[in-house]
Amino acid sequence: MAVVTFTSPEYKDKSVYATAGSHTQTILKLARENKIPIDFECEDGECGTCVVKVTSLDDKGLMGGPLTEKEKSVLSSMGKLSKAEMEQMIVDDLPTPWRLACQMIVRDEDIRIEY
C-alpha cells in the first residue's frame, strides 16, 4: 500500500494510504475521497488546472507510470515540459515531476504531491 502525502502552503500536510496497482485510482480521485482541495475543472486531462508536482519518498526513485498523450500536450503548453525533457524521459525512462492529478495513477510507491 502506498502512502501519498499531500502538501500545500495553504493547508496542513495530509498523508493517506492508496491502493497501489488498482489502475483506476488517480491522484485527483484519491484527493477528492480524502477532502484534499486540489483544483480541477475538466477531470479529463485537457485543462491543466489540476497540475501537481510529484516527488518520490522512497529509494526506488519516481516511477509514476508514463505520461498520457494529453498530459504531454497540456504540460508542454503550460511550459512545464520542454521538448528536450520529453525526449530525455524516453531515454532515461523517468517521468517528469509535473503531472496532471486527473491522469496520474497511483503506483506502489510513497510520494509527495505538491498542489
> 21: pLDDT confidence band, cut at 50, 70 and 90?
low
Cα distance between residue 30 and residue 70, in whole Å: 20
- Is the pTM higher than 0.85? The answer reads yes
Confidence (pLDDT) at 63: 63
SS3 of 77-108: the string is: HCCCCCHHHHHHHHHHCCCCCEEECCCCECCC
- Tens of pLDDT, residue by residue over 67-76, are 889 999 999 9
- Tens of pLDDT, residue by residue over 31-58, are 999 999 999 999 999 999 999 999 988 8
Query: What Å distances lie between residue 63 and 10, 34, 49, 105, CA to CA?
Result: 27, 23, 23, 11
CA 25 to chain CA centroid, nearest Å: 11
